Structure formats: C-alpha cells, structure tokens
Amino acid sequence: MTITEKILAEHAGKKEVSPGDLIMAKVDIALGNDITAPLAIEEIKKVGTKNVFNRERIVLVPDHFAPNKDIKSAEQVKILREFAREFGITNYFEVGRMGIEHALLPEEGLVLPGDVIIGADSHTCTYGALGAFSTGIGSTDLAAAIITGEIWFRVPESIKFIFYGKLKKWVTGKDLILYTIGKIGVDGALYKAMEFTGDIIDNLSMDGRFTMANMAIEAGAKSGIINPDDKTIAYVKERAKRDFKIYRSDKDAHYSEVFEFNGNDIEPQVAFPHLPSNTKPISEVGNIKIDQVVIGSCTNGRITDLREAASVIKGKKVHKDVRMIVIPATQRIYKMAINEGLIDIFLDAEAAVSTPTCGPCLGGHMGVLSEGERAISTTNRNFVGRMGHPKSEVYLSNPAVAAASGVLGRISSPDEVD
C-alpha cells in the first residue's frame, strides 16, 4: 500500500484499503478557523450535544480576519471563544498567541506523522509534509467530526511525483509545486493524493516541504504527502505533544500515475492571473510592473521564507511606487525574525511588517487591492478577485522573487538586484 492507504486503513480499523473504498476513519485532529468554525458550531448547537470527542484534539484558530477587522469578524471570533470556554477546548489560539493555522499547528507539535487530520480550510493538506493524511472538509463535516471523532472518506488514488537532480539558485519548494501544477493543471490530481519523493525532496527543508504539501489542493488533490525521513523525525521529536507512528509507502505500491521532473529544468516560477497553473519561468515573464508585494501566508510565511526575502532586500529600498507587506506566520517566527535582524532589514527597506494574519491572501484586510492594481505574492491562490477588486491581478512567486520585484517595481529575478 501507499503511505496514504496505510494511514487510512489503520484509522478505519482495517488491515488494508484500496482506492475507491468508502471508510469511516478516526480523526486525530479537527481544525476550524474564524470563517469556517462558526458554521460548524451552529450545527453542533442544533444537535444539542454537551460533549466533544476530545477537547485536546480540537483546534480553533481565528486567523483569517485577525486581528478583528470589523464588527462582523469580531462576532465570528466571539463564537469560537465562547465555544472553546464552554467545551473546555484546550487548543484555542487568539491574537498574541495566534499564528496562521497551518504554520502554527506543526510548530506547536499538534499535528504529527501518521495522523488523520481534517480541517474546515482547504489548505489543511499542509500537514502531509509530516507524513500525515491531512485534508480540507466542509463546516458541517467538521461539526460531525468534533462530536464523533470520526469522518467518512473515499480512499483516494495516489500519484507519485519524483524530483531528481539538483535545484538551481533561488529555486524553492514553492517553485517545485508551481512547476508541477503548471504541468498537470488545476484539476490534474482531482481527489488524489499527491506523493512527493526523490533526491530533491530528501534535500528540501521542512519549510519547503510544507509549502509543497500546502498547494496540493491547487491541483485539485485530496491531499499532498511526503514519506517521513530523519529530517521529519528530528522536526517533530522536539515539538510532539504525544506519541506518533511512522508510515511509509511500500516499494510495490500502486500509483495511478508517476511523473518525473528534473531539477535542472526548473527555474523560479511565476503564476500569472488567474490560476496557479498559469505558470511561466522567471526568464519568460517580461516587463510587468507591480503595485504591491505580499510576503507571508500559510504557504510562505515561515522563517526560511523571511530569510530568503531579507537576503535579497538587505540594504535596498522598496521601489517608490510599490507597497511591500511582510507577515510572519506565527508569533514565534516573528520573534525569530526580530532576533535575527530580519525585521530591521524589512523596516529599513520601508516595508510594512504585520502581526500574524491571513489578511491579504483572501482579500480580507491588511493589503486589499483596488481596481487595476497588480500584486506579486507568496500566497497560494490568484483567482479573480482573490486579493480584492475583481479587476486586480495577483501573481504568485517564491519569497526571493517577490522581494526582488518589490525593489525593482516589476516582476524580477533576485539576480537582477545589485
């Protein structure tokens, strides 16, 4: 079996499962945020239950409109806060303790290898980087899981993506996943598990792996996943709040498709409007002026992302016609960035630095675009109106490309910055 099939079989109490099987699986972690959890809580109240399946395995993170941007968002968060108090939810994270959920949970050791993790947020697939089965669900499914600790799945087929060779300068996990989505399309892995492997993945940092798993949903996938190795185990051992189990794919496991990509063929990628699959290598981008840069999100707001951006912008200024917004993904990352002098670099460059928030990624706040404006962003989606006005444009890139673009006022390679 594949790693995905092994994890689902274990959580369904079966010796084995096959793609297409319908199963009931036990849940290790159920996650909700300030947009999706209020709907789940409303359904839970309709049922009238006084208990949840495990108050330590439910995680509530108001991060999308945090800090509260208006009265409605404040009321949404109040629903989460009161539910957490009433049901004794131990893992409730608000402003000051909050981080962007998909960066916060691994950092806190709440999600671990071998887990089944469900979240009412499409980018819950991030945790597959740890060797977990992790996927997004709807709010009513979240309500049922919070009450019962179980959820049904159709076991997905798996696609294997093998990355071999060596990465070029400035190429990151973001570029690998954008390149992949560009090759297979936004529905190229529909309801399938994307399994990433090969020498390049072995050498990729955990932050890079999180970025790749995070964007599996942008290819239509049910999940993204990477077999755990020594790097994974070292990461989780110093954070884990409970025991975990390692699963790995069998050598003779069946895959619906296998793709092989040579790292030597992959430049830094830019996804043009209005799909993450509309990718071009940086050498073919042309002269595209920008109005805004966003560096952050659950995709690229981790410490290595901030280091990459800072290495490009150090000693430079953001272009006079550009706004640059930098958002560390968690409080801990923010503090690390302060201690390493990264925040000084961004402030000296005349960028704005925010407390953790999803904010601009979904056109919520902290950087909404007006009509005709263009942004280059390290976020995960560039659909029509994603970051504001339906006639604005969002281009996706890695942090180094975003930083270079902020300096030059147009989408640029980091090599162009003197």
* Same domain assignment for residues 158 and 47: yes
* Same domain assignment for residues 243 and 355: no
All residue ranges of the chain with pLDDT < 50 are none
| Boundary residue ending a domain (235, 261, 287) | 261
| Boundary residue ending a domain (261, 279, 307) | 261
pLDDT for 241: 87
| Boundary residue ending a domain (231, 261, 291) | 261
* Same domain assignment for residues 251 and 287: no
* Same domain assignment for residues 250 and 124: yes
Task: Tell me whether the omega of the peptide bond preceding residue 365 falls within 30 degrees of 0, making it cis.
Answer: no
- Rounded to the nearest 5 degrees, what angle is found at the Cα of 275, between the Cα atoms of 211 and 120? 55
* Same domain assignment for residues 282 and 192: no
CATH number, domain with residue 397: 3.30.499.10
* Same domain assignment for residues 232 and 281: no
* Same domain assignment for residues 112 and 221: yes
Q: What is the pLDDT of residues 41-50, one digit of tens each?
A: 999 999 999 8
Neighbouring CB atoms inside 10 A of 367's CB total 24
pTM of the entire predicted model: 0.94
* Same domain assignment for residues 250 and 275: no
* Same domain assignment for residues 216 and 303: no
* Same domain assignment for residues 217 and 326: no
pLDDT for 184: 97
What is the residue range of 98's domain?
3-261
* Same domain assignment for residues 313 and 180: no
* Same domain assignment for residues 203 and 275: no
Give the total number of structural domains in the chain. Answer: 2
